[in-house]
Amino acid sequence: MDITFAAIIGILTVVIGILVKIIGFPDQFMKNYKRKSTEGLSSMFILLAFVSYILWTIHGYLQNDLVLVVGQGVGILTTGMIVFQLVHYRKKK
């Protein structure tokens, strides 16, 4: 079984993408929660990531690509939690 360069890149893309969504964003969420603040966090970055995950999920749905829908859907959930924190903690000021 020969593994092509494209297959290796595809696997790495999926693995790193999943790690960002199940480790990176939840870790940031917990730090925000413990501090009860999103100070120092780039609101623009989080909002752009959130919109990007939404658009990729829609694209995956339209292409009938379940892997894309599930993978990007997890991104919607994790960044959505941080978007909620941005709004929630900003109100308290």
Amino acid at 25: F
Quick: pLDDT tens for 34-44: 999 999 999 99
Report, as an integer, the average pLDDT of 59-82: 92
Dig out the tokens for 37 from the structure.
């603040």
Q: How many helices and strands in the chain, by DSSP H and E?
A: 4, 0
Report the pLDDT value the prediction gives residue 89, as an integer from 0 to 100. 92
pLDDT above 80 (res 91): no
Confidence label for 15 from pLDDT (cuts 50, 70 and 90):
confident
* Residue 30 in domain: yes
The number of beta carbons lying within 10 Å of the beta carbon of residue 26 is 14
Q: Write down the pTM of the prediction.
A: 0.81
54: in domain: yes
Domain assignment present for 70: yes
Tokens 């925000």, residue located: 32
Domain at 84, CATH number: 1.20.1280.290
Can you say how many angstroms the Cα of residue 25 is from the centroid of all Cα atoms in its chain?
6
